Structure 1
Amino acid sequence: MKYIFFVLLVVSTHSFLNAQQSSVKLNDSAMSFYKNDPQRALLVLEEALQISEEKTDHLQIAKSKNNLGIVYRDLGDFEKALHLSTQALNTNDSVLKASAYNNIGVVNRNLANYDEALINYLKALDIYQAKQMKSEIATTYNSIGLVYSYNDINNKAIEYHLKAKEIFESIENKKGISEVYNNIAIIYANDGELEKALDYFKYSLEIEQALNDKKGIAESVNNVGAVYYYLSEIDSALVYFRKSLAIEKSIGDMAGISASYNNMANVLIEAGRLNGTKTYIDSAMYFAQNSKIAVDIESALHNYSQYYEAKNETKTALSYFKELVVFRDSLFSLKTNEKIAELEIEYQTEKKEKEILSQRADIAEQELELNGKNTQLLGLGVLAIILGLLGYLFYSQQRLKNRQLQKENELKDALIKIETQNRLQEQRLRISRDLHDNIGAQLTFIISSLDNLKYGFQLPEKLSNKLKSISEFTSTTIYELRDTIWAMNKNAISLEDLQSRISNFIDKADLASNNVQFDYHTNTSDIENFKLSSVQGMNVYRIIQEAINNALKYASATKITVDFNYSKNQLTVKVIDDGQGFDLEDVQFGNGINNMKKRAHEIIGEIVIVSNVKHGTSIQLQIQDLKENTSNDV
C-alpha cells in the first residue's frame, strides 16, 4: 500500500488581451489565471517575453522567464521549468531572484534532489526575511517542511509547517492555510492516523473549492482518495482518483495525471481486478517519463512488478523488480538525511554569526552617535573645540572597529567555505576508496568465478556463451568504475589529462575494431593553466565515449575522426563517422543520445548532432567560458 502517493499543494493572445498592453500587465494577467488555464497562460507569457526582449527590458525578461518556469513546473515539465528559472536568476531584483530560487527548489524536490531543493529554499528565505514579506516567508517554511517530510524527518517537518500556519492565519491567507493542512495531513497519514488525516484533507478540499483553484481541488481530491484506499474502501478511493484524473487532464498537468493513473492501478491490483489495469500503468509511465517525475516512475515500475506477480508471470515480475531496484539506487543516497541536516546546521550557524557581527556594528554606530550629541551639548569655546577633536578621534576609532568586524565576518565566511570544500573532498576520497576496494574487488571475484566455471566444468555451449557475456559485461563495468574513480580522486582535471584519457580509449577501440580507421586530432598549445572540474571532465569523457560506441555499434563506419580543440576559453570536441547515418526527423533517440544531451546540459554545454542517411554523423560538444586554474568541483 505504501506506493499510493499523496499530492502536495504547492487561441492567440490577442484574442484574450489587447496587443498594446505592456509586458507587466501580460505577466500579471497570466499569473492570475494560470492555475485554471495553464495552456492559455503559457501563450500570454510567451508574448510578454517577446515584448520584453524587443524592448531589451532585462527585469521583465527575467520575470517572464520565471513565470514560464512556474507554469511549466505545475504542468510537470521540470526540465524546462528548471532551465527558465535558472536564467531568471540573472537579475538585480532580489524579490524576483527569491521567487526563482523558490521555483528551482520545488523542481528539485519533485526530482528527489532534496539537498539542492533545501539550498535554494534557504536562499529564497534569506531574501524574504530581509524584506519582511510574511506570505512568502510562510510559503518557504511550508516548502522546507516538505523536504523534511519526504525524508521522514517528521518532527522538523511539522515544526516548519506550524511556523507557516501561524503566519498564514495572521494574514488570513486561505490558500496558504489549505496547503499547510494538506501537508500536515500527509504526515498523519504516513504515521497511520488515517481518520485525522481524512478530516484535514477534506478541510483543505473545502478551501480549494471555495477558491475555485482547479489544481488545488485535483490534488485535494486525490489525497482524499488515497486515505480511502488505506482505509480499504476501494470503490470510494477509485471514485476520487477518477475525479482527480479528470481535473488534471483538463488543465494538462502531467505530474498529476501520472500520479492518478498510478494510484488507480495500485488500487485495482490490490483488489485483484487485473482486467484493464496494465493500461493505467502504461499511461502512468508515459506521463512520468515525459515529465521526468522520479516518484511516479518508481511507482509505475513497482506496479508493473506487482501486476505480473498477480498474473503469476514471475519472470516478467522479477525483471521489473530488478529495474525498480536499479532506479531506486540511482535516486537515493544513504547520506541524504545527513546532508540535509548538515546544510541546515551550516545555514543557521552562519546566519547567527552574521547577525551577531551586524548587531555589534550597529551598537558601535549608536554609541558613536550618542557621544557626538553629548559633545555638541558641552561644546562652548575652547572646550567645544577640544571635545570636537576628541569626538573625531573616537569616531575614527569606531570606524576602525567596524572595519575590523567586517573583515572578521569575511574571514569566517572564507573559513566556512574552505571547511565545506575539505569535507566534500574527504567524502569523495572515501567513496572512491570504497568503490575500488569493495565493488572493484567483488567484480574481479565474479569474473574469476565465471572463468573457473567455464574451464572447470563441461558446460553446454549456450550456457558457456551466456557466462562469457556476463564476464565481458563485468569487465566493462570495472573499466567504467575505474574511470569514475579517476574523476572522483581529482579536484580538477587538466585538458592534457583528459586528452590522454581519450587517446587511451581510442587506442582500445582501435584494437577491438579491425575494420575501422581512427583519426585523433588535438591542439595542446596554451592549455597548461586551464582545467575542468571533475564533474565537467567526466561528463566530457563519457560523451565522447558514448559517441564512439554508437558509431561502432550502429553506424557501420569505416572511419571515425575525433577532434579535440581548445581556443579562447572554449572547448570544442567533434566525433565524426562516415557510417550509414540516420534521419533526425524520423528517428527516435535512444538512451545513448539522450544521456549525451543530459550530460552536456549538466555542465552548461551545448551538443549539436548532424546526420544524413548514407552520409555519416557528426556530434559536436561545446563548452563556453572556461576559467583559468579551475579547481572547485561544485
Structure 2
Amino acid sequence: MKSLYGLLLTTLYLTLLRSDIVIAQIPKSLDSLEVYVQTHAPTDTNYVNALLRMGNLTTKTRANYDRADSLLRVAEKLAIKLNFGRGIYQANTFLGANYYLSSRPQQTLEYLQKALAIAGANKLPPRLLANAMTNLGTAYRNVNQPEKALEISLRSLRMQEQYNILPRNEDTYIGVGLALKNTRRSREAISYFQQALVLNRNLNAPYGMAIVEQNIGRCYDDLNQYDKALAYYRIALKHAKESESELLQADILVNTGLVLRELKRFEEAKHSIEQALVLNKKQESKGAMATDYFNLGQVYEDLKDYKLAELNMKKALALANELEDATKIAIYTQGLANLYGGMKDFQQAYVFQLERNQRMDSTTTVRTSAEVQRMVAKYETEKKEAQIKLLQQQAKLNQQESERVRFRTNVLIAGSVLLLLLGASVSAWLLNRSKFQRLEEAQRLRKQIAHDLHDEVGSTLSSISMLSGHTDRLLSQNRPETAQKMVQKIYTDARQILESIDEIIWTINPGNDSLQRIAMRLQEYAQPLMESKDIRFLFVTDPTLEAAPISMEVRRSLYLIGKEAINNLIKYSEATEATVRFERKDSKLQVVIEDNGRGFDMAQPSERTGQTSMKQRAEAMGGSLEVQSSPGMGTRLQLLTELT
C-alpha cells in the first residue's frame, strides 16, 4: 500500500529550496513575472532572478515541468554569460527540483551534485553550501541511497552549527528525518520532523508545515498508530489548502484515504481518495491519477462492490501501461488477480496472475500470495474435471497391477526400516562429532587465554620486576627523584595489566555474546576520552542489532579495532566532532568511526595509526576494513563483517 504513494511524494519540500538571492523590485506572482520578463531586456542579474523565480513557481504551483525546464535553462545560459555564479547555482538547483517532481531521479541527482560543485567553486556563503548539501540528500534518497542521504544531511547540520547559521534550514531536519524513516527508524525520525515543524511555524510557512506534518503522519502510519497519523494528515491538509498547492493537497488526501482504510472507515476513505483524484485530474498528473484509481479500486473491493473495483483498477492499469511504468503495472496486475480471486472468477485471476509473472524481470523471484495460488489451483481443477472423471472410469486395475502395488509397498517398508537404522547411526555420529567440536573449541579457548596472558601480561610483569630491582639500587645510591620516576612507571604498567586482564575476562564471558554489549563497552571507553579533548561525540546503535549474537573471536577483534581507531582519533585528529555508528547493512554489521579532524595523506600511510594491524584483525574475523582520509577533510573508518 505505502509503496504507491511513497514514490509519488516522499519530499515535496524540495520545491521550497531556499534561493538565498536578494532580489530587488522583482514581482512575486507568475502573472506579474510574465509581464516583467516581456518588458525588460535580458541584460542583468535581475532578469536572471526573474526567470529563476518563474521557473520555480511554474514547477511548484502548476506542475508544468516542460515550461519550467525551458525557463530555467534560459536563466542558466544568461547567468553563465554574465559570470553570475549564484545564478548558475540556483538554475541547477531548480532544474534538479523540477526533475525530482517529474520523476526523473538520475537527472535530479546529477543536477544537484552539479549545484553543490558550483557553490563550492564560486565560494558561495556557508548557508548556501549547507542548503546545497540538504538538496543533494533528497536526491540520494530518491535513488534509494538512504545512507548517503543521511550522511550528507548530517554534514549540512554540522556546517550550520559550525557557522552558527540562524535560523537553521528546516529542510535539513526534514532530510535527516526522511533518511531515518527510509531505514525503518521512524520513531527516531519523528524528533527531527518536530524540529523542522517548529522552524516552519516560526517562518509562518504553511506549505512547509504541511510537508512536515504529512511526514510525521507517515511515520505514525509506519508504526501502525493510525489515529495519530490521521490527526497529522488532517492538520497537513489544512496548511496545504492555505498554501494553495493542489499537488500537495492531493497527496495528503491519498494518504488520509489509505489510513482511513486501515481503520476500516471505508466510506470516508473513498471520499478522500475521490477528492485527490479530482485534483490530480485538474493537474493532468497521470502517474498520480493511476495511483488514485488503484487505491479507489481497493476501497471498493473492501466494500464488496466488485464491479466498481474492477473498473477503477483497470483504469489504473491502462494509465500505467500508457506511462510504461513497470513497477505500477506489476502492482496493478497483481491487484486485479487478487480481485478476481475474491469474485471467484478463477479463470480471470489465473490470466492476470500469469501476465504479472511474465512481466517480471527474469532475475526476480515470483512471489504469489497463498490466495492466488489457491485460485490458480482451483481453475486448473475445474478445467480438467471432465478428464479426471474419464480417467476414473478407465482406472480399473487388474490383478497384475495389484501385485505390483503390493510389491512396491513391501519395498518401501523395507527401505523405511533401513533409513531409520541409517538415521540412528548418523545421529550417533553427529552427537560424537558435536562433542569433539566442543572439546576442540574449549582447547582453542584455553590456548587463546594463555597466549593473551603471555603477550599482554607476562612481558609487563617482567618489566615491573626489572624496574623494582633498579628502584632499589637508585634508593641505595640516594637518588630519590630518579627512583620516583621508576615507581611511577611501575604504577602505570600495573594499571595496564589490570586493564588487560579485565579485557580478557570480559572477552571470554558468555554473557557478553551480543552486539549491544560490545557497543556499550566501546562507548564507555570512548566517552571519557572524547570529553577530555572537548570533542562533541555521537554514538549511534541500530536497535535491530541489540539482540544479534556474536562470537568471542569476532567480539575481541571488533573491540580491539574500535579501541585502536578511537585512540588514533584522540591522539592525532585534532577533531571537534566524532561519530561512532553500529548499523545493519543487509546481512552484515557495519561499524563506522569518523571525525572532522585534520585527516592525513592516504598515499603516505603512517605506522603509528596501526592500519595494518587493524586490517589484519578485520580479515581474520572474515570482514573488511576501509579507511578514507585526506588533509583537512577528516577521517572515516568503515568495518564490515558478517552477522552470525
Larger radius of gyration: 2
Q: Which has the higher contact order (CA 8 A, sep 6+)?
A: 1
Q: TM-score, normalised by structure 2?
A: 0.48
